[in-house]
Amino acid sequence: MAIADYIKVSGKLEDIRVFEHKEGSVRVIMKMDGVLIPNTDIPIKLYEEIEAGKHYDFYCVYKKSRNKLKNTGVVYAFKEDGGRIRSLTKLRLATPVYMMFYGAIWFAVAYVAVFLLALLPVLADHPRTGALPILHSYSMMGGAIPGLFFLWCAIDFWRKSANLEAWPSVAPSVVIERFSKLHK
């Protein structure tokens, strides 16, 4: 089960409006082919190159949550009609590193949680000897689950970001189904 979708949104960009500034990016509402697409983050360096009135292919990563209020998207790259793909190499390199960093944090949290939860049951079975190696092995297995998940996410992102043309194309009218009516 994917927690995000890697999709290409194509259409004529009729209007783009910034409604929130973030560090290094802006959150915009885009109007493509007559459809408003809310909650989309665009790195400032890419935003500066985008002009309304042109046809674009936006390569986006959209969150897939049941709570439609929480869904957001990030423009990873774009291609102007007849042009070349513009992306930030920094994003391709930094995103997997951040994922692995968060994976290490969640590994440590899960390790400590499993260690504490398994402490009493393991001590009950092994009151005098051998409790620490058993606790360590249980904790390593418990910590490996979130760590491996984030590692898989980083590898998946790296693999998919290497071939943007293979991302499935989705119409803007399909993308807005991810968002709450409050955003439209």
Copy the structure tokens of residue 138.
Answer: 């249980």
pLDDT band (50, 70, 90) for residue 180: low
Domain boundaries, the chain: 4-88+164-183, 90-160
Cα–Cα nearest to 172, from 5, 27, 36, 26: 36
Give per-residue pLDDT as tens, 67-107. Answer: 767 778 889 999 988 888 888 888 888 889 999 999 999 99
Give per-residue pLDDT as tens, 21-55. Answer: 988 899 998 899 888 888 889 999 999 999 888 99
Contact predicate 156/5, CB 8 Å: no
Q: Looking up tokens 């390199």, which residue turns up? A: 93
38 vs 141, residue with greater confidence = 141
Q: Please work out, in degrees rounded to the nearest 5, the angle formed at the alpha carbon of residue 87 by the alpha carbons of 84 and 90.
A: 150
CA separation for the pair 150, 178 (Å, rounded): 24
Determine the pLDDT at residue 70: 74
CA separation for the pair 38, 9 (Å, rounded): 13
3-state secondary structure the chain: CCCEEEEEEEEEEEEEEEEEEECCEEEEEEEECCEEEEEEEEEHHHHCCCCCCCEEEEEEEEECCCCCCCCCEEEEEEEECCCCEEECHHHHHHHHHHHHHHHHHHHHHHHHHHHHHHHHHHHHHCCCCCHHHHHHHHHHHHHHHHHHHHHHHHHHHHHHHCCHHHCCEECHHHHHHHCCHHHC
Which CATH code, of 2.40.50.140, 2.60.120.380, 2.60.40.10, 1.20.1070.10, is assigned to 4-88+164-183? 2.40.50.140
